[in-house]
Chains A and B, each alone.
Chain A
Amino acid sequence: VTLEILLMWATLTFFVVATAMFVFGVIFTKERLTRRAVLVTAAGLVPQLIAIGVRWARVGHGPYIGYYEVANALTLFVVVFFVIAAWRNARLSAAGIGIMPVAVLLLGGAMLAPKAGLPLTGSLASYWLFIHVAFANLAFAAFAASFGLAIVYVLRERSKTGAWAKRLAKLPSQESVDNLTSRFVLAGFLFWGIMIASGAIWANEAWGRYWSWDPIETWSLVVWLVYAVYLHLRFTMRWRGEKLAWYALLAMPLALFCLLGIPIVFHSLHGGYIGGAEG
């Protein structure tokens, strides 16, 4: 346990340092610092992956159960998504200023949560768990990426030709950032949809009901509909720019609340996965 926790603190330290480097790199327009921040972020993934592996071997299941494990897995997916995007297109590195604070807050919250390993219960013991959780993580990572890009879009748009416009000048054009934001939303919408569909099939196998309007089911549908509205505004109503960026900014916290907040706030059939109250 000690090794695992030490590795997780090391990960958090890497991510905090990377976040500071992104902030300084962008504010003082030090492009090299921003590029190195991506490397520091990637380096932080090494102890995190080892810690998850150690824990997996110890508790006998992946990072699925309990606030600590769920927040840890969400952070992993968010950071991996961002590192891949920045590696494929170095000009996106500066978006770390919007994405890495999310990762740091998530992991910080995880480190403060109880870390005792919870056993896999009978209702969770299914291959659907892997599919359902993997797509929840992928969806959140995509929404977090759209959130980070929306932040830089709004910062640049508000600044116009001011300081932030210069600081974020290395990023792709506003039009490209706008397009990328909506493409990440599209990807997140698909992954979230698969999460809901796999969850419905799994619920029917586990409990005999594919949909029971449980608070988590309802809120996962709410989040999906919120992003469906975004996509209709974007592709049908032809909305562009700052209004839509604000929408992406405000939608992501809903997804986070659905994954981590609802099981704590509401009595839910699904409460067990986060250590909350089961209905």
Chain B
Amino acid sequence: VIRRALRKAVAALTSAGLALGLLVFLTAWSAVATLVAQGDPASQEVAAWAAAHPAIEPVVAAIGFHQAFSSWLFMACAVLLGVSTALCAWKRTRSAMARSRALARARQLDAGSLAVEHDLEVALDPAMTAAEAVTTASRVLADLGVRTKRRGELLTAVSAPWTAWGSAVFHWSLVALILLVLGGNLFRSDGLMGIPVGQTLADTPVAYGLLHAGPLFNRDGVHRSFRVDAFDPDYTTGGIDRGPSPTVSVLDAAGNAVVTQRVYPNAPLKLGSLTIHAAAYGLATYFSLENTAGAVSGRSLQLVDFSQTASGGTVPVGALQISDSAGRVLVSCAITVPLQGPARNYVQSLPSNPKVRVVAVSPQGGLTVDKLVKVGETVSLPSGDVLKLDQVGYYARLSIVDDATIPFIYAGLVIAMIGLGISTLSRQQAVAATVVEGPDGSSLAVYIRLWRNAATSRAEIAAGLETALRPVKEKSDS
């Protein structure tokens, strides 16, 4: 009973109907998903979309369409398609083995074996010599797109045995890619880390502003840090503007630079399984906090992002909070840097004489301070403390990916395309012909195996050869 059930399950999974159904479903799902805002249901974009489409939002939310490509339905269908593809690849492997054996055997055919093993026998015009018959057959086959080689009175057009493997290789590569992508996500760490110029941050989860790490990614074994040595807001090389480009160093556990490189699009920093890109940039403001006695009681670094839609062209990344010894927040400061240029067309770079805007808000939400300060100037806070702006510079937001599967994914893609190329472009055929003598006279014995991408059909070959080779009497009869 179990064996029968298994057989039925395998038959269902290998059925073309299931594969087609899954392909159609995933195609339609993906296409429709592009019409729906994608992201966390709590995100601003998704909320705006939901507000604009109140009638269909409940359905969209219920089926998880806002995270269409990680929803359980999509993943289940993708996994099922992966299983179906694996079983299909296995079937294609068996077929490829049989065909490559047949092709290898066909390459060994000679006049003697053809006399015994052939699929078609065409009676020759008695006036035709064997050499003439072979020449005519070669021409007929060439006209039908089958280019033959001639060895004496033997014609052969046999594909190489490896041509049978294209489809199997392609399908196995797809299976490998599905496994690599799914498995890679388990071992992958992918995050964004903002590092001011001249600063070093250790590769720890708290250093990332945003981090997705797979459950099997081992950060305990990672002992490294990243430093932004320099930043060029407008780097140009080879006559092409590469945009804002930081120079990044990866440091080992002892703090020694292992590699240092300028990072810009298409020039990431690579070190083993680590890849670093420059995802974005912004401004970094440094403050010192002085108490009422004028002594420095703390220092703070506040990052500021560019935004064409925000007033002044920047938005704070988090807030500068001042707390008492019990940890109660006394005042919360929003830090921005007004940019040069008109609204919505701000120049996204450090102003020549930067001024930093400090907006301090009490825990109750009341505005207490709103002041622009230059480097070296101070802001007095209601708590009695004084904030002093020490420095303004750039920071680089680095995209840091640690994924050892990427070279294998590249290899999978290349092998898949080679398999698809063989499957698409190469012929799988074995055609051989020679003249054999029989009790009723001479005839052309033809061996025909046509599988993939054949230029003609068995019927066309038979018709073409019979028309060209048959006896004159029969020709006139017709």
Contacts and interface: CB of A to CB of B under 8 A. Distances in A.
Contact of B410 (A120, A201, A228, A233): A201
B27 interface: yes
A122 B266 contact: yes
Contacts of B413: 197, 200-201
Contact of A208 (B264, B268, B420): B268
Interface in A164-209: 183, 186-187, 189-190, 193-194, 197, 200-202, 204-209
A128 to B, nearest CB: 8
Contacts of A233: 20
B34 A207 contact: no
A83 B277 CA distance: 44
Contacts of B266: 122-123, 125-126, 128, 202, 205-206
A219 B34 contact: yes
B24 A122 contact: no
Interface string B410-425: 1001101100110011
Interface string B205-247: 0000000000000000000000000000000001111110000
A128 B413 CA distance: 15
Contacts of B421: 190
B240 A218 contact: no
B31 A219 contact: yes
Nearest to B455: A179
A190 B241 contact: no
Interface in A109-124: 119-123
Contacts of A213: 33, 38, 68-69
Given A122-B240, A208-B279, A232 B16 contact: yes
A57 interface: no
A126 B19 CA distance: 37
- Among B26, B27, B421, residue most surrounded by chain A Cβ atoms (within 10 Å): B27
B264 A193 contact: no
B23 interface: yes
A215 interface: yes
Contact of B27 (A119, A125, A201, A229): A229
Contact of B265 (A122, A218, A222): A122
A162 interface: no
Nearest to B28: A222
B120 interface: no
Given A215-B34, A218-B33, A218-B34, A123 B265 contact: yes
Contacts of B16: 232, 236-237
A147 B417 CA distance: 24
Interface in B98-157: none
A189 B242 contact: no
Interface in A206-259: 206-211, 213, 215, 218-219, 221-222, 225-226, 228-229, 232-233, 236-237
Contact of B264 (A122, A215, A218): A122
Contacts of B204: none
Nearest to B277: A208
B417 A122 contact: no
Contact of B20 (A194, A202, A221, A229): A229
Interface in B14-38: 16, 19-20, 23-24, 26-27, 30-31, 33-34, 38
Contacts of B392: none
Contacts of B34: 215, 218-219, 266
Contacts of A266: 34
A122 B243 contact: yes
B453 interface: yes
A225 B27 contact: yes
A205 B268 contact: yes
A60 interface: yes
Interface residues of A, number: 43
Interface string B166-198: 000000000000000100000000100000000
B214 to A, nearest CB: 15
Contacts of A193: 416-417, 420
A279 to B, nearest CB: 11
Contacts of A201: 410, 413
Contact of B240 (A125, A190, A200): A125
A37 to B, nearest CB: 26
Contacts of A186: 424, 453
B23 A208 contact: no
Contacts of B190: 208
Interface string B238-267: 111111000000000000000000001110
B401 interface: yes
A237 B321 CA distance: 67
A224 to B, nearest CB: 9
Interface string B23-63: 11011001101100010000000000000000000000000
B406 interface: yes
A216 to B, nearest CB: 9
Contacts of A204: 275, 406
Nearest to B266: A126
A211 B265 CA distance: 16
A207 B277 contact: yes
Contacts of A215: 34
Contacts of A236: 16, 19-20
A277 B257 CA distance: 39
A197 B27 contact: no
A121 B241 contact: yes
A232 B266 CA distance: 37
Contacts of A194: 417
A95 B397 CA distance: 54
Contacts of B420: 189-190, 193
Contacts of A218: 30-31, 33-34
Nearest to B401: A208
Contacts of A190: 417, 420-421, 424-425
B399 interface: yes
A187 B424 contact: yes
A121 B235 CA distance: 12
A236 B239 CA distance: 52
Contacts of B417: 190, 193-194, 197
B73 interface: no
Given A193-B417, A208-B275, A213-B68, 4 more contacts: A121-B241, A125-B242, A197-B417, A236-B16
Interface of A: 60, 119-123, 125-126, 128, 183, 186-187, 189-190, 193-194, 197, 200-202, 204-211, 213, 215, 218-219, 221-222, 225-226, 228-229, 232-233, 236-237, 266
16 contacts: A121-B265, A122-B240, A122-B264, A122-B265, A125-B265, A186-B453, A201-B413, A206-B265, A206-B277, A207-B279, A210-B406, A213-B68, A213-B69, A228-B23, A229-B23, A229-B27
By Cβ-Cβ distance, the 8 closest A-B pairs, closest first, are A122-B242, A123-B265, A197-B413, A208-B277, A225-B27, A126-B266, A236-B16, A190-B424
